[in-house]
Amino acid sequence: MVYLHFVFEGTEENRFDFGDNRGDLSCLDTGILNILVLGVDTLASKSRGRSDSVVLVSLDEVHKKIKITSIMRDLWVNVPGHDWDRLNSAYPLGGASLAVQTIEKNFGIKIDRFVSVDFPGFEKIIDSLGGLELKLEKDEIYFINNNAKSRVESYGNVKLNGNQVLQFARDRDSSGSDFDRTKRQREVIVKVVEKLKCCSFAKLSAILVDILKCVKTNCKYSELIGFCKRAPEYSLYETLTFRLPTSDNFVDAVVDGKQVLKIPDLNKARKDIQRFVMEI
């Protein structure tokens, strides 16, 4: 099996195979493809960084839906081989492979592929799409203007460049907590998905070349081209969002000096995400 492994201003990771039937997507028998998208908070070429955002994108060909699930980075979870820690610690400890194993072990969701991207790569991807139009509140604009390289001059529906979208996606100050930040991250991914739905095969292929310069992934090029060819079909899919944990199944806690989110009922959390992704 041949895997692509694209690197942009990040550390070189070993290629890895998840094992079992994930080597070939044609072997999937559920009709649902789960791709873990990791936004990595590093600018340094020699640092792996932590997963600033953890998002599961599910392409559901059974129910004709695209499902986007935010998984809170501060969840207190069992990291295989490393005892208990925050979810975002898995990536610096063992890269995307360990992040995948951690989510699978704790929440019972099988992950088929991963994509990880750092801050500069994220900016370049958004710019390759021609930017994104997002609805901004005044306090969100204030945060962007305090952190971005260029200013936003109006509120409401505003077209943002890659650096501005990055600040929007990282903002947890203007509306409160990390829960608000994950909501913004889901908004960004929904906008990206909706924009890609409208592209022709030729345009998607060109965008794909730009994206692959900016990410690490174990997706095969043939798989990605296959997705591009089926874009007209996927453009008809409904896009849905979800967040784990749900509002009724977490408590704030401090463990070993770390602010974390604990899940009182892990079995419920597993059922919640499985119900959303698999509809079982």
Q: Residues 103-141: pLDDT tens digits?
A: 999 999 999 999 999 999 999 999 999 999 999 999 999
Q: Give the β-pairing of 65-71 and 51-60.
A: antiparallel
Say which amino acid occupies 190: V
Given a contact cutoff of 8 angstroms between Cβ atoms, the answer to whether 142 and 181 are in contact is no
Given a contact cutoff of 8 angstroms between Cβ atoms, the answer to whether 125 and 195 are in contact is no
Going by pLDDT thresholds of 50, 70 and 90, the confidence category of residue 15 is very low
Is 20-278 assigned to CATH 3.40.630.190?
A: yes
pLDDT digit string (tens) for 131-157?
Answer: 999 999 999 999 999 999 999 998 889
| Backbone φ, ψ for residue 125 (5° rounding) | -65, -45
What is this structure's pTM?
Answer: 0.88
In the chain, alpha helices (H): 90-107, 119-128, 138-147, 162-170, 178-197, 201-212, 221-229, 231-234, 266-278
Q: Quick one: tokens of 63? A: 């129910």
150, exposed or middle or buried, with CB in 10 Å at 0-12, 13-18, 19+? exposed
- DSSP class of residue 133? E
Annotate 33-54 with DSSP letters as a single string. EEEEEEEE----TT----EEEE
The Cα–Cα gap between 11 and 5 comes to: 12
